[in-house]
Amino acid sequence: MDETKILLPESQIPTHWYNVVSDLPAPPSPVLHPGTKKPVTPQDMLPLFPPGLLEQEMSAERWIKIPDEVREIYRLWRPSPLYRARRLERALGTPAKIYYKYEGVSPAGSHKPNTAVPQAYYNKIAGTRRIATETGAGQWGSSIALACKMFGLECTVYMVRVSFGQKPYRKSMMQLWGAKVLASPSDQTNAGRSILARDPASQGSLGIAISEAVEDAATHEDTRYALGSVLNHVCLHQTVIGLEAREQLKIAGDYPDVVIGCHGGGSNFAGIAFPFVADKAAGKAVRIMAVEPTSCPTLTKGVYAFDYGDTAQMAPIAKMYTLGHDFMPPGIHAGGLRYHGAAPLVSLLAHHKVIEAKAVGQLACFEAAVQFAGTEGIIPAPESSHAIRAAVDEALQAKAEGKPRTILFNLSGHGHVDMAAYDDYFAGRLEDFEYPAAKVQESLKHLPQVAL
């Protein structure tokens, strides 16, 4: 077995998603309505999400069938390759084996289409005509635009104004796939107009963009909302990553000692990790590690508590690790890792120590990404570089101990559309940022009071 890339035929695209709810160490907490603070009902959510997705959001079934129409589109890029990073291993002089699952092969260049496609599908069969969503850096917006195009849905993306200006290529990708892209705050929603009235020069935030997209969906009969991370059904869809990786490692005759994913809202991490959580629940010895930026240390410095999903306190309240819903992270380049909260499922697993978490500074991440690009060739997305940093650290530790170790990480996307971040790194314009504990304490004073 000396392949660089371990490939699977399309017949081995998973037939079912794996639902980690069936293997949790404790029952998940209910999600609460932001107004009543009572558990949300499917009726509350039906204006926003189609029945197929709501069912998955609430499901405790272990395996959920992937519709043929979704697998048909997955075939455009799945199964994604599993690489053995031999050139990186040699450069590090490590006895460790490093494997990475590469999700940058999707048309949008990241793992996001794994959930965008089923989200568009379930909307299509529910009669949705248009999807409204928000995007920060643009990875999610471009993926849902692609998926809507595939199923003939219209798509409106509220893009955080600062990214709208700074990430023109992502905006162009959305437009190419037929989406209407609006800089948020926009004048199309009450939420947007009220922000603009107070601050006409507002650069926007993900929280504001979420408010706009949700309002758009809630006030239009034929329109529903879509979210690219955090929610149970999003994590569910991403499990194709880990399911494939496990099969590919079998072909290589290997099993990981440690499984690593970068962590923002939690979806790419859940994708690589959850199938190994199942193994761990069944008694396998495997470490599972979420890697986040020190500038947004949700899992390592936040608290496990009920909090709003968004800044505007309009999204449901969920039990999760949070830095406080009014937390404002600094403008690091890994735009996908700047969420104040974390997926409730990931949070529960972290709280019960099924998974571990680690925070890394962005300079060390870019350093690892540059070494990776120089050995393996692929230019990583800034988000993915966090997983690389942790994988390299594991490999160096194995070297220091003189012991073998098998490392698997998820390379969630390529960085061709994020080259400005590398420019800033090489020009010395980036610095590390440790989020001050006192500031977290301040944010945490604003957590909602709930009866549970």
Spatial CB neighbours of 157, under 8 Å, sequence gap ≥ 6: 132, 133, 134, 135, 141, 144, 145, 174, 179, 180, 181, 182
What residues pair up with 156 in beta bridges, in sequence order?
A: 132, 180
The region of 90-98, 235-243, 299-307, 370-378 touching a copy of itself under the rule CB under 8 A is 370-378
- Residues in region 400-439 near a copy of itself by CB under 8 A: 414, 416-417, 419-420, 422-423, 426
CA 55 to chain CA centroid, Å, is 21
Return the residues of window 59-88 that contact a copy of itself according to CB under 8 A. Answer: 73, 75-77, 87
Instruction: Please say which residue, 54 or 387, places its beta carbon nearer to a copy of itself.
Output: 387
Question: Which C-beta is closer to a copy of itself: that of 10 or that of 199?
Answer: 10
Site for a copy of itself contains 165 (CB under 8 A) = no
Identity (one letter) of the amino acid at 71? R
Query: Quick one: 105 or 281, whose CB is closer to a copy of itself?
Result: 105
- x-or-dash pattern for a copy of itself, window 95-124, by CB under 8 A? ----------xxx-x---------------
Q: Which two tokens stand for residue 288?
A: 């599972």
At its nearest, how many Å lie between a copy of itself and the CB of residue 306?
A: 39
Least Å distance between CB 123 and a copy of itself?
A: 18
Size of the residue set binding a copy of itself (CB under 8 A): 41
How far is 263 from 271, CA to CA, in rounded Å? 11
Structure tokens at 241: 């990553």
Q: Considering the complex, what minimum distance in angstroms separates the CB of residue 16 from a copy of itself?
A: 20
146 belongs to the binding site for a copy of itself (CB under 8 A): yes
Q: What's the start-to-end Cα distance of the chain, in Å?
A: 53
**Contact region for a copy of itself (CB under 8 A) — 37-45, 281-289, 308-316, 367-375?**
367-375
Binding a copy of itself (rule: CB under 8 A), the pick from 88, 379, 390, 395 is 379
Using CB under 8 A as the binding rule, whether residue 377 contacts a copy of itself is answered as yes
Decide the pairing of beta strands 16-18 and 63-65: antiparallel
- The amino acid sitting at 210 is I
* 8 Å CB contact between 323 and 446: no
Cα distance between residue 357 and residue 299, in whole Å? 6
Is the separation of the CB atoms in 82 and 248 below 8 Å?
A: yes
Give yes or no for residue 334 binding a copy of itself (CB under 8 A): no
175 forms part of the interface with a copy of itself (CB under 8 A): yes
For residue 323, the SS3 value is coil
**Is residue 399 within a helix (H) or strand (E), and if so which, with residue range?**
helix 385-401
Interface residues with a copy of itself (CB under 8 A) are: 3-5, 7, 9-10, 73, 75-77, 87, 105-107, 109, 146, 149-150, 168-169, 172-173, 175-178, 370, 373-374, 376-379, 414, 416-417, 419-420, 422-423, 426
